[in-house]
A and B are shown apart, each in its own frame.
Chain A
């Protein structure tokens, strides 16, 4: 898995920091307003602004994990839950990406998400 040094560690970090809301398979919860990542997450990589959006979303940016661990977790989640949507020229996330974007706070995450999804159409 490109950009994932230790899949087991990435999986545990997913369970501890993401699974509670997004679910074990990333299915999310329509009733609970939790976005679905399964078979969808990779679509963000196909639109301008999408790559950094996945780092800037509050759950990722504020997770109690190092920049390296965040990069690994993003790559693992993309490859595990949404492999078919990842573009062929995708460069795995690395520590520098996370350092660059994690601290740039998203003012209105729902609005930004909507804007990117419109771009996917």
Chain B
């Protein structure tokens, strides 16, 4: 899970985030200016240790305030949550060792920090846009020389023939293409991509342009396989999966395990290179649309209706 910098401007105008920022500032200033007074107000005594702790907490609060007000990012909110937990721990220790003077104030402070903690947790959880960068790799060996395999792969408009999720790839310029793919839960995502590196017979790499539904990039590396066994092909795909870890889990639950998909994509590529087309069985007649869903169609010949559905 990573915080997303693009949410900075959104958080700058978020009343809850700004409120927490000002609250940090209002607490931090007296803590730093008069730590002894602040400690007394909490009823925890004004010994040197209490003064030092209070001043340190004040510095932390000012840092959080600065962060939340000038460069708001979810990380600052999570920082506040961490600080709250430290405060609660300190207050709990103070309550345990309390000499009785000002106990009511300490209890009240603990209650207040508890409420603040809850608010911070709420803010941090709701303001974190979860996006999980995911990197997939898959590899296969196919018959043919690297330059031949390179030519087949770089015929980008044919990628949807074997990549299950790609619906369409259109060449829009010498180095640019437009991609359309199906995403989990029946959605479609589109993006423009540009080739970032291209070494014929060795490597091709691409990256989605700004404004893509899903930021992604990828590369294919080709190398001759030892023992005259053709070409080793290694594919790497990176993308920010919407919904983060939760989305990943949900997608898996619905049978769309990304790693398996990429492996199957490469198997189909290999089939096309080596046999000319994707091998269909009666159980999995749909070619690239046969995504290993079970139970399958029984292994018996297809009716005309089933045939039409499988072959179109």
Is the A/B pair a real complex?
A: no
Residue numbers of A with Cβ under 8 A of B are none
